[in-house]
Structure 1
Amino acid sequence: MLSEKTVKTLIENGLEERSDLFLIDFKMNADNKISVVIDGDNGVTVEDCMFMSRAIEHNLDREEADFSLDVASAGATSPLVNNRQYRKNVGRTLEVKATSDLKVEGVLIDVDDTGVTLEWKTKEPKPVGKGKVVVNKQAKIMYDDILEAKVVIKF
């Protein structure tokens, strides 16, 4: 019988060997369909997925339990779910929805252990007279307050 704990241990062992990779998602259903999503500090290549696949598959016995295995990278439009994903995206534009009904699209300029700092430009009314002026804004958003964050891909 194949256990979820065994597979999780194999994933952790693979990630210890490759410290540049980290786990985004892991699922295993009753039919032994194993799904693993990884990301990396420098992105993920096909070879990285093959490495993780081998780290799991080569340590399981198909004679003992049949299984299917899918190892994939986090998609470009997938929400960021791991703090390390923010670090690798410094300098890129993010769309962040926060618990305070804040929805911001801005450049990720800083990441620390508590949250992220975004910077963006917006038009605000002039202090005196009619019309608007472009103003630089910045906001620090704590990880706990982020409902969803995605990298904005512009063409």
Structure 2
Amino acid sequence: MTLIFDPSVSPDYNILAVRARQWRGVDFCVALYSSSTRTWVFSGSSFTYLSSIIFENGVFLDGKIYWPTCLSEISIYYDCIGHEFVPYPMPHDRLTKELLHFGEFGGHLQLVEFHDDCIRYFQVLELKADCSKWFVKHRIDLHLGVVDFPEMYR
């Protein structure tokens, strides 16, 4: 389940639940709860479940809910206005849940990953506004912080 709430727009909220159309089925759909009407509405839009989608990390941004995937170059978002699932690219197919931070910052969707299996470096990637690709927003070398703050290293 994902909370859809932006207090700058409205005091009302929605809850989005992704569920199987049939018991043990592979086709999934969305149920949307509205606090203003106190009802659940089931979307006609569906998608075939990808085991790599991490539904517990949904991020609400600009009327869409984005989910990351692991070990896949593609994921999906749900357009809450158009009521449809839309594919979007992941940066590459080597992301794992353990190395992933996925969230919104400053109105942009960002992903943090450690670089090449080394916890000394990490990158902050940002999805372009048109959802066409990711770009490196920041490269951070933690070793530089240890030089200035040696108490970080233990």
TM value normalised by structure 1: 0.27
TM value normalised by structure 2: 0.28
Bigger fraction of residues in strand: 2
Bigger fraction of residues in helix: 1
Greater CA radius of gyration, 1 or 2?
1
* Larger RCO (CA under 8 A, 6+ residues apart): 1
